[in-house]
């Protein structure tokens, strides 16, 4: 504890239990600080100057991402996180991932909803499929570099420029703001639409085989749910399905609200580990109790 902190306490005459609370808070801040990396240790900001909106490199990057988004419904920034930093983030999470991660295992339809108003229960667009993977929630990793990256506001601002939104906000939900998911041998995330307009992921560890990100761009629109197209996709008869595999450190942004996607089963002993970041156009967004229970097995 630095001396001047103690001195300033005594100057303003904080006493007893308040003093002890303040001392504990200082210790907590110092411990957190010692575990915090400089952001440039984590992200390649020379290659991707997302923190310099005035420079021409920033404008060019935004334009490139926008072009990729309109052409492919996604963009990728390979090496956005230094691969060695991704490796140590995974190592730091490994004990919690092994023991405290929620096993997300369920049968669900592509909407992750019980029913869709106006759609009969036996409509093929509601066909069920199986998902299994392991999830750590934001409240389980306050000191991981993943937290620092999610809370690095230039990233949210850069994404809002790419998406041409006035502002993007971090999610408020203490569980759902960002997650890290591990896919073990045989595990997969099945077809689904996301809740937010776009989804941002950061691959931390690649599996030996499998674990591809499979997607079908713009299958529906806000005005047309295209249930027959959804049924065709689920039958495996959509010839516009594409697939990519990512390298550790890649930031992937895709329009998941209308682009159904899945992760193919992982093969081999190395887990596929990925961070998922959620941003919204309005502040204070929370999951419902039902969503928390479904995705994380707990309400709080």
Ligand X SMILES: O=C(O)CCC(=O)C(=O)O
Interface contacts to Fe ion, rule CB under 5 A: 194, 256
The neighbour count for residue 19, using CB atoms within 10 Å, is: 14
Q: Which does 126 bind (CB under 5 to 8 A by kind): ligand X, Fe ion, none?
A: none
Asked if residues 1 and 19 have their Cβ atoms less than 8 Å apart, the reply is no
Residue with tokens 């440039």: 40
Residue with tokens 């492919």: 72
* Smallest gap from residue 253 Cβ to ligand X (A): 11
Phi/psi at 40 (5° precision)? -75, -15
Asked if residues 133 and 207 have their Cβ atoms less than 8 Å apart, the reply is no
Instruction: State which H helix or E strand residue 180 sits in.
Output: strand 178-183
- State which residue, 131 or 205, has the beta carbon closest to Fe ion: 131
* Smallest gap from residue 82 Cβ to ligand X (A): 20
For residue 149, give the nearest of 141, 4, 59 by alpha carbon.
141
* Smallest gap from residue 274 Cβ to ligand X (A): 4
* Smallest gap from residue 179 Cβ to ligand X (A): 7
Q: Is 131 helix (H, G, I), strand (E, B) or coil?
A: strand
CA distance 255 to 154: 20
- State which residue, 233 or 263, has the beta carbon closest to ligand X: 263
- State which residue, 57 or 174, has the beta carbon closest to ligand X: 174
Residue closest to Fe ion, measured at CB: 194
Residue closest to ligand X, measured at CB: 276
* Smallest gap from residue 107 Cβ to ligand X (A): 17
Q: Which does 189 bind (CB under 5 to 8 A by kind): ligand X, Fe ion, none?
A: ligand X
- State which residue, 156 or 263, has the beta carbon closest to ligand X: 263
Angle subtended at Cα 266 by Cα 209 and Cα 155, rounded to the nearest 5 degrees = 90
Interacting residue ranges for ligand X, rule: CB under 6 A: 181, 189, 194, 199, 201, 213, 261, 263, 274, 276
- State which residue, 201 or 205, has the beta carbon closest to ligand X: 201
């Amino acid at each position: 504890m630095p001396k001047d902190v103690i001195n300033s306490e005594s100057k303003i005459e904080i006493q007893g239990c308040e003093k002890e609370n303040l001392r504990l808070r200082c210790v907590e801040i110092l411990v957190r600080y010692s575990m915090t990396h400089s952001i440039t240790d984590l992200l390649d900001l020379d290659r991707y100057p997302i923190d310099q909106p005035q420079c021409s490199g920033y404008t060019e990057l935004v334009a490139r991402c926008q072009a990729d988004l309109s052409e492919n419904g996604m963009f990728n920034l390979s090496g956005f996180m230094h691969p060695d930093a991704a490796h140590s983030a995974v190592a730091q999470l490994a004990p919690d991932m092994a023991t405290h991660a929620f096993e997300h295992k369920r049968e669900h339809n592509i909407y992750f909803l019980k029913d869709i108003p106006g759609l009969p229960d036996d409509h093929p667009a509601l066909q069920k499929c199986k998902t299994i993977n392991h999830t750590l929630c934001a409240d389980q990793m306050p000191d991981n570099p993943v937290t620092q990256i999610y809370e690095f506001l230039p990233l949210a601002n850069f994404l809002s420029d790419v998406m041409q939104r006035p502002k993007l906000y971090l999610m408020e939900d203490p569980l759902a703001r960002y997650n890290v998911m591990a896919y073990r041998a045989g595990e997969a995330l099945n077809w689904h639409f996301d809740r937010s307009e776009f989804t941002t992921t950061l691959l931390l560890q690649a599996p030996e085989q499998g674990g591809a990100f499979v997607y079908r761009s713009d299958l529906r629109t806000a005005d047309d749910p295209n249930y027959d197209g959804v049924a065709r996709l689920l039958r495996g008869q959509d010839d516009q399905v594409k697939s990519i595999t990512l390298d550790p450190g890649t930031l992937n942004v895709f329009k998941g609200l209308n682009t159904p996607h899945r992760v193919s089963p992982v093969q081999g002993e190395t887990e596929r580990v990925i961070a998922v970041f959620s941003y919204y156009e309005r502040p204070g967004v929370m999951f419902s109790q039902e969503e928390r229970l479904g995705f994380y097995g707990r309400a709080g």
